[in-house]
Amino acid sequence: MSADDATFKNAMRLLAGGVTIVATSLHGEKSGLTATAVCSLALAPSRVLACVNHAGRTYELLSKSRIMSVNLLAEGHEELARRFAAKRATQVEDRFADIVWRSSVTGAPLLADALAALDCRVTDIMPLDTHSILVGVVEDIHFGPRGRPLVHFEGGYTSLLSALSESMT
């Protein structure tokens, strides 16, 4: 027996999480998606994991390029988070337009003003139904301007300060 999907979703809405953009590049085509199913995995070597849906364009590219950046978003990046989560209006829509991206060691695009941008080589891809768990060895890290993280909670974007003040009222 397992909990029904709706109850599970209601519970997971209460898990506050940092918001990232997981991005990749293959033969000059860049793709990225907003992701919260990302965490630190291990040290020596430094590794992260990201869970990515097979249905999207980003997974298609990631599985071939085997490089990914994990870009930690700051307060003020809400529009970016929405842009990288929204369905593309057209096949060729460029989610990367009008944003400063840095080049990297692996070739994955790094968001210049992310709190931190982790440049990773994907070593393992573990499929599980609709998603795969991707393990990335972190080859390089770029730190952007200091700031506070963008937080996802109860289906919306918030900040640590407003989450704190709301919980106290």
Ligand X SMILES: Cc1cc2nc3c(=O)[nH]c(=O)nc-3n(C[C@H](O)[C@H](O)[C@H](O)COP(=O)(O)O)c2cc1C
Among 23, 24, 25, 58, interactor with ligand X by CB under 6 A:
58
Least distance CB 123 / ligand X (angstroms):
19
Among 26, 51, 125, 160, interactor with ligand X by CB under 6 A:
51
> What mask, x for binding ligand X by CB under 6 A, covers residues 109 to 148?
----------------------------------------
Cα 59 from chain centre: 12
Q: Which position has the token pair 């590049």?
A: 25
Question: Mapping DSSP to helix (H, G, I), strand (E, B) and coil, where does residue 96 land?
Answer: coil
Dist. CA 76–CA 73, nearest whole Å: 8
Among 26, 37, 41, 49, interactor with ligand X by CB under 6 A:
37
Least distance CB 113 / ligand X (angstroms):
19
Q: Quick check: 112 and 144 in contact, CB under 8 A?
A: yes
Residue 122, both tokens: 């994907």
Q: Should residue 53 be labelled a site residue for ligand X when binding is judged by CB under 6 A?
A: yes
> Segment near ligand X (CB under 6 A), from 51-59, 97-105, 106-114, 158-166?
51-59
Print the SS3 string covering 24-70.
EEECCEEEEEEECCEEEEECCCCEEEEEEECCCHHHHHHHHHCEEEE
> What mask, x for binding ligand X by CB under 6 A, covers residues 86 to 105?
-x------------------
Question: Computed over its alpha carbons, how large is the radius of gyration of the chain?
Answer: 16
Among 24, 25, 33, 136, interactor with ligand X by CB under 6 A:
33
Least distance CB 84 / ligand X (angstroms):
6
Task: Tell me which residue of 16, 1, 6, 7 sits closest to 156, measured CA to CA.
Answer: 16
Residues in contact with ligand X by CB under 6 A are: 19, 31, 33-37, 51-53, 56-59, 84-85, 87, 152
